[in-house]
Structure 1
Amino acid sequence: MKQKLTIRRTVCSIVAALLAAAAVWLLCRWVGYDLQLRVGDTQTFAILNDDYSQVIDVTGEGLTQSMPVSAGQTVCGVRLDFSTQGTPRQSGMLMVDLYDSTGTLRGQAAGDYLNIFDNLFTAFAFDSTYTPAQDETMTLHIYSVAAWDGPLGLWASTGTVDGMPLLVGDTDAGATLALQMMTDNAAQWPTTLANQLAPVLAAAAFAAVLLFGLQTPLALTVAVVGLACGLAFVQVTPALVAPDEYFHLAAAYELASRIGGQTPADEDGNLLVRECDAPHFGTRSGEIGILAYKNQEMARRNEAGGPDELTVASEAKAGQGSSGYLAQALGVRLARSLGQNFYTMLRTGRIFNLISYLALAALAVALAPAGVRGLLACVALLPMPLELAASFSPDTPVLGTIFCYTALCLRLRSKKAVWWEKLLLVALGGLVGPAKAIYLPVVLLCFIIPVENLDGGRGAVKGPFGLRVQNGWYIQGAVLVLASCLWISANLSELAYAARDMNHTMLAVGGVALAVLLVLALWLYAVTRGDAKKRRAFRWGLAVVVVLAAAGSVYALTHMGGGLNPDQLLMVKPNGDSLYTFSLGYVFRNLPATAKLLLRSIPEQGAFWLQGMLGTTLGEPIVYRIDVSWLLGIGLVLALLAAALPAQGEQPPLGRRTAWGTVAILFGVAAALLVVVLNWTPINYQTLFGMQGRYWLPVLPLALLLCKRSRCVALRRDASRGAALAVTACTLLTLLQGFSLYASWQQVS
């Protein structure tokens, strides 16, 4: 009976997966069809002659118009301004033929008279495009293939434009047609690109439903489904449009050069690149729209690569590479070694970054205790982390590392640590410190692990001041010290900049005093711990010292450093932004103004932060606001809540005191993030500048874990697998709508 049920489940799962894949395939085809109708006629034109002061009739022999074309300029068609003199044409066909300088036919276009209107430009797209290798003068032959009654003319200039004579039959008309050259057009590319996306999305839907039905490990689901969705993001996100991707590409490119033993920069600090890559390196986000999609895909297919020789200085600056770009740099290194072109190199670097993220995310899900795996899987499969992973963003190794560290700390709450888990805990904690400055408080998660789970059965040993110290405390201390030291080494300059208008000597003295007080408190605890009355007095004394120290610190910080004078407060840049941004000194001297800034920011930007965390705002939001339907955002929030709510009888993964400690960690991350964002915000701004929802992603699992302690709402059974499937469905729909919005951007604007 059990074998029959297993076979039935397998068959049903395969059928359901096939139906899901078919549905997604059909949805992709619909998106392609809809896009073809909406943006299939997208065209760009170059004006050759904008003077129209007379009408030249189209005779039986037709008109011949010369048209100069520059080398490398693609000719897709032309646009002509017609005059029917108020009499609409009933039937017939007008032809436009394109000939090169040797008289060879290079393209033909036909226009129905029914689509020709009086005093309006009409476009004629050639059946094939032509790009001359050198400057040449081409000719257009405009003629009718059927006789008609009444006049049909074209607007032209009075007088001939240089190099553009117009012939009526064999006679020079002494004029030049009002003419625009079509330099690009969408043609069938909306359908083509949607058809390319369909197999990847269908594979993601098939894998998600099949693995859900077969109840496979969630780590496998994250790896397989995440790979399929991530590869779709690689295709959907246009080149250099992911958050700050042009900057991250330059950093990864530099690191790839260093890995290859090459000199990455010239004497002026400009990044050296291959000759074939130089035109694509800049300091702004890439283009979007259907024509951008088309041109990037054609360049990926047809553009020549080149040898891995750094011969051209780009606009980008060197000195930005770090280990956070290792995976992307390895992809760039491989593509350059194979002589691939720029867009193939970009795609390879994206894929390497995606694989590194999925490896860490799958490891995190595998390490997590059973009650938390579904929650981590849902967060890992959100659109935002997958979009970041499918770009050059260095946030993905940070995400994966913090996910693994969080999962390991939760794992060791309920089991004794073996040797490799202890080493992994120290290594991951050390990596969290320098990964990104704002996530240092996450390192404190090691203290949610019961110290006896880290002891290894050795018991307590003699420590400072004669105290008996358990071995687990040394491991937790090693994590904290390693992370702190690496954090300071990586972020000391940024910390000094944040405190640029404060007295650094007083800050150093305060830090030393704090360290002395901690040592003194430890010594007093060792002295008083054996006497209940002394221990009570020690606690009351410690509380008084903490309150006085806090009050004194606030007073000192609010009166430390020089403030800005009235003239400095009025200094602004040409764009109207203040010359000065919020610093720690300015914040402490202006606490009410800072509080008002935050209170204004929450209602005005809160929804945007949520969208950025979930991934329902795609691309670089400061440049392009690609917002998908708010229904998808609601679906993602509900799915996350379903994975976070406890099942009946489930033991919460966090105790009460641990939950409060987790809240403190979240507040610590929020405070660090606020300091960083304030350093970007000019002092004359009314809301925060540069706050992105994706900065909350690494601590999102911690925030959702607090829901596991809910006593008001509980589910009958664990819904995390279904929630992961729902997140995947919303991610697929986000990809489809995002592709449609990217492609139709030029039409919307």
Structure 2
Amino acid sequence: MYLAVLAPLSAPDEVSHFISSYRLSNTILGQPAADGKGHVYIRTQDAFVLDTDLNPGESLAGQEETKDTQVLGQTLTEHTYRKIHDTGLSGTGTQEMETTVKPPVETTPLAYLPQALGIVLGRLLGLGGLGLLYLGRFGNLLFFAGITWYAMRQLPFGKEVLFGVTMLPMTLHLAASFSYDAMILSLSFLFSAVTLKLTYGAGNVRKRDVALMAAVMGVLGPCKMIYGVLLGLCLLIPVKKFGNGRNWLLSAAAVLAVYAGAMILVNSATIAQYAAETESFVGWAGESGYTFEWVLHNPVKTLRIFYNTILEKGDYYHLTMMGNWLGNLDQVLDVPYVVILAMTFTLFFLAMKKPGGETVYLAGGRRAWALFLCLACVGAAMFSMFIAWTPASSSIVMGVQGRYFLPFLPVFLMALKNNWITLTKNRDRELLFFLVCANGYVLLRLFSIVSIRI
């Protein structure tokens, strides 16, 4: 339902993710992906999704260079729904290609494989631009649902917690979009589930388990480097589960080698650029920014900026993690705070110990380590945006959004279960049903807002 109510290209950065998926679809079909300038080829009949003033079949013809084109779904209004209704899914039958200056995301192509396969199917079926958008989104949603379902099967405990996180408005919005966050979320959930299964399960670690962890990190790491911190979850697994210390070292080396190799292949240039530069320029602010060198010489000031950021932006992180503003963080497309608060308490209740519930959970040193890793992920997210997005005139870190915390939210919630707080009744089914009903209300509210928004 989120796929339909929140129109294509409405999610954060979804235009760039769509262009990246389209580029990969060109490669899969054996066609040129981009021109010499890196501009991605798209069908002329699909150009109208990047400029809603056009009709299907009309060319962009350099309009992107001369004006700010209105991308479909970037601002959701009644006109968006009308455009979708009037255009339909059918194509014009022409296969003429042109380029767009909209930039793709430079990351591993695997992050866009589900979306690209949906676009390929749409192109083979002769569908138009909207058909490609919906099939690409649907492919991403299918991947998210399949991997998350498998992650739930792997979890030794906390299945209801993971399900609760997947039912948050922001999670569902991202899963039903072109965003590579759908892959990041599902693979993070899977990696967490596998490590917890190997930690608390009865069996020993097999080669296939090590291969699975390595493969997941090999895809996940290059998408968002900050989630490499989740590799620390492997340290929860007892050494005896590997048979001996030698096998543990070989397994750790294999996972790290795949992760490091993927990072070098995809992100080596970016890492080298940020590590070597002594001056930086933040384009959106039009001024200089912070660098690694500045951080090394000013550790106390850096910590003070991070502390001020938590104080000033903590509520914003919470709201944008849960989905208080949907679309492209459009404050008109809001979810009432009381609903967000109710969903937050629901997640905490799902995480608490209860009669007839699971007796195995993160405790002692393992709980402390899991919470430390969650805190480290928050720090990594803030540090990355501090270097890449924050102007030197700012006293807080800019650019961090709450959705960056969703990949490790299930682990954080599972680590909260303890013997001190116990619910008197097991109400998990009712709590999960509430989340379903709350999402129904959110969808009706959003549809109503967009339908009357001019």
Q: 2:339 pairs with 632, 643, 649, which one?
A: 632
Q: 2:255 pairs with 459, 479, 488, which one?
A: 479
The normalised TM-score by structure 2 is: 0.87
Distance across 2 between alignment mates of 1:416 and 1:590: 48
Residue segments in structure 1 that go unaligned for 5+ positions in a row: 1-231, 461-468, 503-563
Deviations 1:605-636 (A, max 9, x none): 22221122112210111x65522101110111
Q: 2:412 pairs with 703, 723, 727, which one?
A: 703
Q: 1:294 pairs with 57, 62, 82, which one?
A: 82
Please report how far the alpha carbon of residue 597 of structure 1 lies from its aligned counterpart in structure 2 after TM superposition.
3.2
Q: What SS is found at the alignment partner of 2:99?
A: strand
Distance across 2 between alignment mates of 1:744 and 1:586: 49
Contact 2:321–2:405 under 8 Å retained in 1: yes
Distance across 1 between alignment mates of 2:406 and 2:169: 11
Distance across 2 between alignment mates of 1:704 and 1:319: 31
Distance across 2 between alignment mates of 1:694 and 1:572: 22
> 2:65 — aligned with what?
none
- Equivalent residue letter for 1:388: L
Distance across 1 between alignment mates of 2:360 and 2:105: 47
Distance across 2 between alignment mates of 1:292 and 1:426: 42
- Equivalent residue letter for 1:702: V
Contact 1:250–1:316 under 8 Å retained in 2: yes
Deviations 1:11-32 (A, max 9, x none): xxxxxxxxxxxxxxxxxxxxxx
> 2:297 — aligned with what?
589
Q: 1:494 pairs with 267, 270, 273, which one?
A: 270
Deviations 1:583-610 (A, max 9, x none): 2222233344434433333233222211
Q: 1:484 to 1:572 in 2, by over 3 A?
A: closer
Residue segments in structure 2 that go unaligned for 5+ positions in a row: 52-68
Q: 2:380 pairs with 661, 668, 672, which one?
A: 672
Q: What SS is found at the alignment partner of 1:627?
A: coil
Give RMSD over aligned pairs: 2.5
Contact 2:221–2:259 under 8 Å retained in 1: yes
- Equivalent residue letter for 1:400: S
Distance across 2 between alignment mates of 1:581 and 1:438: 20
Q: Percent identity?
A: 27
Aligned positions of 1:607-618 closer than 5 A: 607-618=315-326
Q: Does 1:452 align with 2:221?
A: no
- Equivalent residue letter for 1:693: G
Please report how far the alpha carbon of residue 400 of structure 1 lies from its aligned counterpart in structure 2 after TM superposition.
0.8
Contact 2:363–2:415 under 8 Å retained in 1: no
Q: 1:306 pairs with 90, 93, 101, which one?
A: 93
Please report how far the alpha carbon of residue 685 of structure 1 lies from its aligned counterpart in structure 2 after TM superposition.
2.1
Q: 1:245 pairs with 1, 7, 14, which one?
A: 14
Contact 1:272–1:313 under 8 Å retained in 2: yes
Q: What SS is found at the alignment partner of 2:187?
A: helix
Q: 1:402 to 1:637 in 2, by over 3 A?
A: same
Q: Does 1:442 align with 2:262?
A: no
Q: 1:318 to 1:382 in 2, by over 3 A?
A: closer
Deviations 1:320-340 (A, max 9, x none): 472101000001111111111
Contact 1:447–1:476 under 8 Å retained in 2: no
Between Structure 1 and Structure 2, which shows a larger proportion of helix residues? 2
Deviations 1:351-407 (A, max 9, x none): 1110000001100111101x3111111112221121111110011111111111111
Q: Which has the larger radius of gyration?
A: 1
Q: Does 1:344 align with 2:131?
A: yes
Q: 1:600 to 1:578 in 2, by over 3 A?
A: farther
- Equivalent residue letter for 2:32: T
Distance across 2 between alignment mates of 1:704 and 1:471: 31
Please report how far the alpha carbon of residue 345 of structure 1 lies from its aligned counterpart in structure 2 after TM superposition.
1.2
Count of residue pairs the alignment pairs up: 430
Distance across 1 between alignment mates of 2:377 and 2:248: 25
Deviations 1:682-728 (A, max 9, x none): 111233221111100000011111211x2321123544333322222
Q: Does 1:413 align with 2:120?
A: no
Aligned positions of 1:463-612 closer than 5 A: 469-501=245-277, 577-612=285-320
Q: Does 1:277 align with 2:64?
A: no
Which has the bigger relative contact order, CA under 8 A and spacing at least 6? 2
- Equivalent residue letter for 1:346: L
Q: What SS is found at the alignment partner of 2:158?
A: helix
Deviations 1:478-534 (A, max 9, x none): 2233223323433222222322335xxxxxxxxxxxxxxxxxxxxxxxxxxxxxxxx
Contact 1:328–1:350 under 8 Å retained in 2: yes
Deviations 1:670-692 (A, max 9, x none): 22212211121111123322111
Contact 2:110–2:219 under 8 Å retained in 1: no
Contact 2:282–2:391 under 8 Å retained in 1: no
Please report how far the alpha carbon of residue 669 of structure 1 lies from its aligned counterpart in structure 2 after TM superposition.
1.4
The normalised TM-score by structure 1 is: 0.54
Distance across 1 between alignment mates of 2:346 and 2:220: 28
Please report how far the alpha carbon of residue 275 of structure 1 lies from its aligned counterpart in structure 2 after TM superposition.
1.6
